[in-house]
Chain A
Amino acid sequence: MRQLDVACIIDDDELFTYVLAKQMEVIGFCKTTLVFQNGQDALTYLRPIVESAGELPSVILLDLNMPVLDGWQFLDEFVRLRPGRKIAVYIVSSSIDAADHEKALAYKEVANFYIKPVTEGNLLEILNEMMPAGFKE
Chain B
Amino acid sequence: MQTRFELYELVAPLAGLGIWEHDLGTGETYVNSIIPQIFDIAAGDDASPADLFSFYLDPDHVRRLYHEVIATGQQREAELEIATKKGNRKWIRLRMHASFIDGQTRNVFGTIENITAQVDFMRLVQEREQQLSQAFRYAPIGMALVSLNGTWIKVNYSVCQLLGYSEEELLCITFQDITHPEDLNSDLQHLQQLVGGGIETYSMEKRYFHKNGHIVWALLNVSLVRSDTGDPLYFVSQIKDITELKRSTEIIRAQNSRLLNFAHIVSHNLRSHTGNIKMLTDMAVVETDKAEQLKQIRMVGAAAGNLLETLSELNDVVSIHDNGLEHRESLDLGNEIRRVLAILSPSIQESGASVDLVIPEGTAVRFNPAYLESVFINLISNSIKYRHPDRPPGSASIWRCMATSCSACTRPSTATRTRGGWGYSS
Q: Which A residues have a C-beta under 8 Å from some C-beta of B?
A: 13, 15-16, 18-20, 22-23, 26, 40, 65, 67-68, 93-97, 115-118
Q: Does B338 contact A (CB under 8 A)?
A: no
The answer, among A15, A26, A68, A96, for a CB contact under 8 Å with B388, is A68
Give chain B's interface secondary structure class.
Answer: helix
The answer, among A19, A67, A95, for a CB contact under 8 Å with B279, is A19
Say whether B264 contacts A97, CB under 8 Å: yes
Give chain A residues whose Cβ lies under 8 Å from the Cβ of B126.
Answer: none
Say whether A15 contacts B280, CB under 8 Å: yes
Say whether B283 contacts A94, CB under 8 Å: no
A104 to B278, CA, bound (A): 25
Q: Which B residues have a C-beta under 8 Å from some C-beta of A?
A: 264, 267-269, 271-272, 274-276, 278-280, 283, 299, 302-303, 306, 382, 385-386, 388-390
The answer, among B264, B278, B388, for a CB contact under 8 Å with A95, is B264
A117 to B283, CA, bound (A): 12
Say whether A15 contacts B303, CB under 8 Å: yes
A20 to B386, CA, bound (A): 24
Q: Which 4 A-B pairs have the closest CB atoms?
A: A117-B275, A116-B275, A67-B386, A94-B271
Say whether A16 contacts B276, CB under 8 Å: yes
The answer, among B268, B274, B279, for a CB contact under 8 Å with A96, is B268
Q: Measured between C-beta atoms, what is the minimum distance from A17 to chain B in Å?
A: 10
Give chain B residues whose Cβ lies under 8 Å from the Cβ of A93.
Answer: 268
Assess A117 versus B386: contact at CB under 8 Å? Given A94-B272, A96-B268: no
A13 to B299, CA, bound (A): 12
The answer, among B267, B280, B303, B390, for a CB contact under 8 Å with A94, is B267
Give chain A residues whose Cβ lies under 8 Å from the Cβ of B388.
Answer: 40, 68
A16 to B306, CA, bound (A): 12
Q: Measured between C-beta atoms, what is the minimum distance from A116 to chain B in Å?
A: 4
Q: List 24 A-B contacts (CB under 8 A).
A: A13-B272, A15-B303, A15-B306, A19-B280, A19-B299, A22-B283, A23-B279, A23-B283, A26-B283, A40-B389, A67-B385, A68-B386, A94-B267, A94-B268, A94-B272, A94-B275, A96-B268, A97-B264, A116-B272, A117-B275, A117-B278, A117-B279, A118-B275, A118-B279
A18 to B382, CA, bound (A): 25
A15 to B269, CA, bound (A): 14
| B286 to chain A: closest residue by CB | A26
A20 to B274, CA, bound (A): 14
